Chains A and B, each alone.
Chain A
Amino acid sequence: MKSLFGWLRRRSEREEEWREEIESHVQLRQEWNEARGVPADEARRAARRQFGNTGRTLEQVRAVHVCGWVESLWQDVRYAARGFSRSPSFSIVAIATMAIGIGASTAVFSVVDRLLFRPLPYPKDSQLVSLGYFGPIDNMEFNVVASYLEWRERQKVFQSITSMRPGARCDFQAGETPQQLSCYGVEANFLKTFGIAPALGRDFRAEDDRPGAPTVILISNALWKTQFGSDPLVLGRTISLDEERVRIIGVLPKDFEMPQLDDADVLMAARLLTNRPRAANASAPLRTFARLRDGISIGQARQAMLPLFEDTVRQDAPFELRSELRLVVRSLRDRQISEVKPASWMLLGAVLALLLAACANVANLMLARAAARRRELAMRAAIGAGRGRLIRQMLTESLLLGVAGGTAGCGAAWLLLRASIRLAPEGLIRLNQARIDPRVLVFALAASFASTLLFGLTPALERPRADALAGWHAAGSIRIAVRKLLVAAQVAISLVLLSGASLFLRSFWNLESQSFGFQAEHVVTASFTLRRQRYRPPEALAAFFREIESRLQRIPGAGWFALSDSIPPRGSMGRPYSNLKIEGRPPVAAHGGMVAFRWVTPGYFRTMGIRILAGREFTEQERRGADTPLILSATLARRLFGRENPIGQRLDLDRSGRWLPVVGVAADVKNSGIAEAPDPEYYRLRGSSSQMPRSGVALFRTSLDPATLARWIRREFASIDRSVPVTVEAMATRVGRYTDRPRFVALLVTLFAAFALLLAAVGLYGVLSFLVTQQTQEIGVRMALGARPRDIALQFGRHAGVWVGWGIIAGLVGSAVANRAIKALLFEVAPTDAVSLLAAVMVLAGIAGVAVCMPSHRAARIDPLVALRHE
């Protein structure tokens, strides 16, 4: 760079020198003439005449020293740069517009590209499908061993079908410190189906996968690195997993991804129990994946699997569930992105709209500039600049602007991507893989270049007219029409974005302000999972819970305390509604969906702040009895008993013949995410003899801060069993995570809408200012003839009102279409919500009003005397 400037400086010095040399020649000739007695005046004129065109000579000398085109290009660039620096506001606005358009669209596309378009990291990834039953039990398709074995046997559409057991935490003893790893049991053909081979060692073989075969494992690359120092001798070593010795046979590739995108530290052979009675296998859950045969589509595969599905669902699914289960066969990508797919498409659409608005704005600016320069171009044409030269000049200017805007855009894209990776909520899949995508960058650059070039060239393409020299802006009415159209388009685009944004904001507001059924403030949660092996005997498990409960309860200042196996707004297990039986009544309706339930201690309702609507809470005395009582959620009580009083009724929950009395009805609590209506739910009292899961959550309603309490809690856990990992968190933080994603989406869309609005305002302001300048004389005449300033301002206001009006109408039509598409993303607000639309129109009209007011006022303040002297 430095040498370039140096070269340029030397160039201009030398240029000066050449000029001097020619000048000295002319003077020497003049001297010589004078010496021959010619009068001084005549001598000088003769000398000039004789030399001829000095400019041409200089040009030729210059041509000797540099290649001509570089020279004239440099001239153009210099000229253009000078032009831009003369109107910095134009350049800044144009460059900023491009930066926003390019930056935002590239950043967003780079994120969604990974989700929607990039191939998954498996060979021939489009052949991979996820399949299984889909029903109210799970939000993903699942399978059971019994059905799967039959599918595997009889299917004809897949090259390969494979399965994996649900992931489990397993205990890993590495030296002193116990760890919990994420372990998956997979079939022997699992990796082969995905087209993956271990990075080191061997894949599972059929004999590893037989029931009762010794456990062999593949470990993840990450685990290999952290626990074994990437030692290749790890193959064949045995380690302790769940207090069993298992042998490592291989290491997974570094970039290996589990098909459901969870982290897996260890894969072990699934060893499905093929010879168990069918009923036992019907309750063993699986996830199933397959690779399609060549030339078979997903639709065809689904059709082919339907008879099999009908067959197995009849044999394996509980009667009550049968009608609620359906067969799902979908691409692996669809399974992976099922939750974020609508949001991704929506953001992509929104940002493309923004890019469109940015291009319209750049086009508008270029046209404004073109209009302002018609005179200058006419002048240059008059003094002999060729048409080609003028076109090249305009081209250079447009390119220069494009390059500046493009550079700023790349910078903006990088910044936005960084920012969104940092700001984005956890669990947005593949976000950390997002890189600035060169294809997208090129696309966005091309779009903005095209708009600068197309509209930047118009003045040069149009034949320069002599009347432009006179300062009369007679021509260009078409261009004005184009500009009005562009402004209307910008208004329409920003209205679409604004109405989307207001819907998202309202939806987010609804999410945040809804009642969860419990009070999260001042509640601290401590969740933990016990090791499998040590707590397998029920006595050990019960002893641990007894011990930890009495210890945690004694923490000073801990306030109200409760234990549960899970906490809202999620995490409760579900059972079919139709399993429930009311004593002395006919069976309940068959298709009731799922009922959630939790095991809680008596303090649960008080601690969580859940209201008891009827009856009472559990008591400590009841825990010692054999048949512990029940509390129903309001929804469940209403469904089971209608308007009758449920208190005192007895229920059989699982056809066990044990009748449990209902002692209370609790308020409904969000239990399947915050956006879904709550499932019916019942609470069981944690007794001394109850069957309980190995994981639990301790709850405290306390005025202590979570960090202080956390120390106490950890100490109590450690004093019983050091190996139990405990996560302490404020309830509000836990709940807050559920609104992170909608908040992020609302924020992004609002940001885009604000940008689009700003661009529309700039466009509106620009066109109107231009009209005012153009009509200064006319306004002057009218004012001289007695028009009041108000009339003038109103005239412009009305003018602008028409285009804005058309823009709003187009925008409303666009919103109606676009908002229908985002319906799935909204919470308790209809896509046609009048309040949101009205708010969007108001904001738009307000901003447009400001943008219109300023130039209109300027028009009204024009002094007729000055105006008539103008130009």
Chain B
Amino acid sequence: MANNRDHLQGTLELLILKTLERAPNHGFGITLQVQTVSDGLLRVEEGSLYPALHRMERDKLLKGEWRLTETGRKARFYTLTAAGRQRLAEAATNWTAVSRGVDKVLRFA
């Protein structure tokens, strides 16, 4: 169970890192983007997004700051740090490997 959760958290982390690679964004923006880009296949649980963001910020993968959105609202924007970029690279490779492996297993079965 714990592993499973780690795995899911790892996934969420990867999604966040990948989304922020293009441009800094706020929490709601990340939710929206993941949903749009995945054609509605993936949906970020909003309640668990914020603990993840804060954990990543604590671990220095992200940097958060208050900015105004295009519509003039205040929101907390997160930017990828250098450490974040590195983590993204590792996690992406890892993910590709894992998903290719899983894919093969599934196809064999």
Contacts and interface: CB of A to CB of B under 8 A. Distances in A.
B18 interface: no
A160 interface: no
Contact of A25 (B46, B48, B54, B71): B46
A24 B73 contact: yes
Contacts of B26: 24-25, 28
Interface stretch (A52-60, A479-487, A806-814, A853-861): A52-60
Interface stretch (A61-69, A145-153, A209-217, A342-350): A61-69
Interface string B39-60: 0000001111011001100100
A20 B76 CA distance: 9
Contact of B75 (A28, A32, A52, A56): A28
A29 B55 CA distance: 23
A29 B50 contact: no
B75 to A, nearest CB: 5
B74 interface: yes
Contacts, number: 59
Contacts of B32: 32
B73 A28 contact: yes
A236 B42 CA distance: 100
A32 B70 CA distance: 12
Given A27-B73, A31-B71, A50 B46 contact: yes
B69 A65 contact: no
A25 B55 contact: no
A30 to B, nearest CB: 10
B27 A21 contact: yes
A65 B58 CA distance: 8
A60 B46 contact: no
A641 interface: no
A692 interface: no
A43 to B, nearest CB: 14
Contacts of A56: 47
B51 A64 contact: yes
A60 B27 CA distance: 16
A21 B77 CA distance: 10
Contacts of B51: 57, 60-61, 63-64
A51 interface: yes
Interface string A557-601: 000000000000000000000000000000000000000000000
A22 interface: yes
B58 A28 contact: no
B19 to A, nearest CB: 15
A25 B45 CA distance: 13
Contacts of A64: 51, 54-55, 58
Interface in B67-96: 69, 71, 73-76
B73 A60 contact: no
Contacts of A18: 50, 54
Contact of B47 (A21, A53, A65): A53
B5 to A, nearest CB: 13
5 shortest interchain CB distances as A-B pairs:
A28-B28, A60-B51, A52-B47, A64-B54, A57-B47
Interface of A: 18, 20-22, 24-25, 27-29, 31-32, 50-53, 56-57, 60-61, 63-65
8 contacts: A21-B27, A21-B75, A24-B75, A28-B75, A52-B45, A53-B47, A57-B47, A60-B51
